[in-house]
Amino acid sequence: MRGIRFAPRLNERDKSMDNEDKINIPHLAMLARLSLDEAATQRAEHELHNIIDMIDQMQAVDTSDVIPMAHPLDAEQRLRSDQVTEQVDRERFQRNAPATAEGYYLVPRVVE
Amino acid sequence: MSLHPFVTVTELRQGLATGEYSAVELTQYFLDQINRHQPTSNAFITVDEQGSLKAAAAADAQIAQGKAGALTGIPMAHKDVFCTNNVLTTCGSRMLENFVAPYDATVVHNLQSAGMVCLGKTNMDEFAMGSSNENSAFGPVANPWHAEHVPGGSSGGSAAAVGSGQVPVATGTDTGGSIRQPAAFCGITGLKPTYGRVSRYGMVAFASSLDQGGLFARTAQDIALVLGSMAGFDAKDSTSAQRHDSWLEQIAQQGIPQTPAKLKIGLPAEYFQAMSDTQQLDDVRNTLEQLGHTCVEVALPNTQMAIPAYYVVAGAEASTNLSRYDGVRFGHRCENPESLEDLYQRSRSEGFGEEVKRRILTGTYALSVGYFDAYYLQAQKIRRLISDDFSNAFSQVDLLLTPTAPGPAFAAGALKQDPVAMYQQDKFTVPASLAGLPALSMPCGFKQGLPLGAQLIGPAFREDLILGLARDFQQATDWHQHTPAAAAGDRT
């Protein structure tokens, strides 16, 4: 997850930018694999603007010495031994699949 | 005690044990209640008449053989977020409207093993995102006390079902208040246990570092009874807590442990200052003091930052968790996709509702290159500050008493157009969620004919203290015994 190091640090961000400039809804929709029509894009822009205004209150807090909290009780990841515990029942699992053939999931052609 | 819709689990155990009624009769009785309420209440997405009657017959056989456990034959309902083998699990979404899980959630398995009879799956905000149950793809749910008001959310169906006497107990999940707030709005008791206390295996994921399964019932005593069978370590959930709390292991037999004689109860100043009217809470305080406890003011200075931090953490985790819905392996798939990209985009856009898309976009924004440090990392740091606030408070007091929600159930449609105002509904419940702490809402009075809830928050894994104090409060008051007028005529 630390691959995000390319991201500018908080203090390097151009604080003069206001939300309108920051929110690129078509780009976000593309990242989230959502397609929004013109009206939905405009609505999302307005709503996200308000939501981001609200969450931007966080920037007022000095957290320079605070260690981020990923688990609410600071628990460590529990590991198990690398042993087979159950077999995948493909036929059963694929009953929920929209389209399958011979045990494969069918999708539109990817390679021409 | 004759059968009536507002009977407690404790009373039902006795009725079944003495043969006053059979499990099949009990199941049929509550199925009738559900069928009668469903057209106006819409608390259920699926009613499993056949399955429940079969399970009830099996329970009767166990009782006849003298093999009954503490919960054998007790009817209940699951929030439709828990996977059930062979019964639909929709999560309130078009995305999963035809989804039948190939396995049972651990919670479902545990309660089934304890002999409970599941009558159906309850309505909810889509993917548990909402505070009003207005985000369900299967329609809104009516508040049992006033049909034009919301039941709260996201576990609105479970809360309304218990609140209107359709089932004596129901499961829910709570990510930022989704058990406590609807419990308050519907005039019942609701518990969000400590993070990790109840297995998340088979619980459709929304925000994995916050999601926690819990319960709705009429009394703290009933919740405790069922929690004993529901909770416990589960190897299938990587964040399940490995605990051996003897009070929990013995709770079905011994009940909730006795409350220490003199507890110190903290009243967080930031919560009380945010309320225009604290009359009902002042009454709770007086009752607790009459019981011999002491109430003192405490400070939780980072409270105001909880909502912003929560909507970043929950949004980020939701956008990640919901990326699995791609129209390929399960869930909704669009017609005639032209390409793989088209398949993903249209399947997701058609399958998800407005609020879910909004949160996915918020989360995607918070995680995107350039904003990760400013939003996600900052939110995780604030999460620690909030957790530290609670730790400081619990070095001075045993428990905290707060309001559950800013007011009683609001009118349907009142906040639907303003997501940010809707998010403020969670301001008293979200802090404990961020800190992973157990919290309970219990009825404490009425405002404009609608019930109000008081919240008790405890240190991690001290559900015994919370449940104990709530039980004592419910022995001293009768707020939890009030039932909605629309259903009052049912009492026999």
Strands B169-174 and B212-217: antiparallel
Residue A90 lies in a domain: no
Domain assignment of residue A55, yes or no? yes
> Is B459 within 8 Å of B139 (Cβ atoms)?
no
pLDDT of residue B490: 43
**A14 contact partners, CB below 8 Å, separation of at least 6:** none
- Classified by CATH at the fold level, domain B9-301+388-488 comes out as Amidase signature (AS) enzymes (3.90.1300)
Secondary structure letter of residue B450 according to DSSP: E
Q: Maximum distance among all alpha carbons in chain A? A: 57
Measure A44 CA to nearest chain B CA, in Å: 7
Cis preceding linkage at B154, omega within 30:
yes
Whether A39 and chain B come into contact, CB under 8 Å, resolves to no
pTM greater than 0.80? yes
Query: If we measure between CA atoms, which residue out of B212, B194, B186 comes closest to residue B82?
Result: B212
pLDDT-derived band at B486, boundaries 50, 70, 90: low
Task: Point out the residue among B98, B99, B436 whose CB comes nearest to the CB of A72.
Answer: B436
Crossing angle for the helix pair B306-321 and A38-55, nearest 10 degrees? 140
**Which of B466, B430, B29, B17 is CA-nearest to residue A72?**
B430
Q: Does residue A108 lie in a domain region?
A: no
A91 falls within a domain: no
Q: Tell me: the pLDDT tens digits for B271-298?
A: 999 999 999 999 999 999 999 999 999 9
Mean pLDDT, residues A88-105: 94
**Residue closest to B311 by CA, chosen among B425, B170, B155, B388:** B425
> Cβ B196–A75 below 8 Å, yes or no?
yes
**ipTM computed for the complex:** 0.90
Interface contact B373-A89, CB threshold 8 A: no
Say if residues B157 and B186 touch (Cβ distance below 8 Å). Answer: no
pLDDT band at A12 (very low <50, low <70, confident <90, very high): very low
The phi and psi torsions of B427 (rounded to 5 degrees) equal: -65, -25
In single-letter form, the type of residue at position B196 comes to G
Percent of chain B with pLDDT over 70: 98
The answer to the question of residue A18 being in a domain is yes
Domain span at residue A15?
1-61
What is the number of domains present in chain A? 1
pLDDT of residue B252: 87
Residues 58-97 (A) with a CB less than 8 A from some CB of B: 58-59, 61, 63, 66-73, 75, 77-78, 80, 89, 92-93, 95-97
Chain A CB contacts of B333 under 8 Å are 98-99
Interface list for B 178-197 with A (CB within 8 A): 194-196
pLDDT over 70, % of chain A: 80
Tell me, what amino acid is at B122? T
Q: Token digits for B316? A: 């980020």
Length of chain A: 112
User: Which residues from chain B sit within 8 angstroms of residue A55, using beta carbons?
Assistant: 308-309, 311-312, 362, 366, 375, 379
Check residue A13 and give its pLDDT: 42
Q: What beta strand segments (E) does B94-209 contain?
A: 117-122, 169-174, 189-192
Structure tokens of B318? 């939701």
Collapsed DSSP state (helix, strand, coil) of residue B293: coil
Query: Considering chain B, what is the average pLDDT of its residues?
Result: 96
Tell me what the mean pLDDT of segment A55-65 comes to. Answer: 95
Mean pLDDT of B6-31: 97
**Degrees (nearest 5) of the Cα angle A53, A54, A58?**
100
State whether A68 and B311 contact (CB < 8 Å).
no
> A78 or B233, which is more confident?
B233
- Calpha distance B15→B1 (Å, rounded): 8
Domain range annotation of chain B: 9-301+388-488
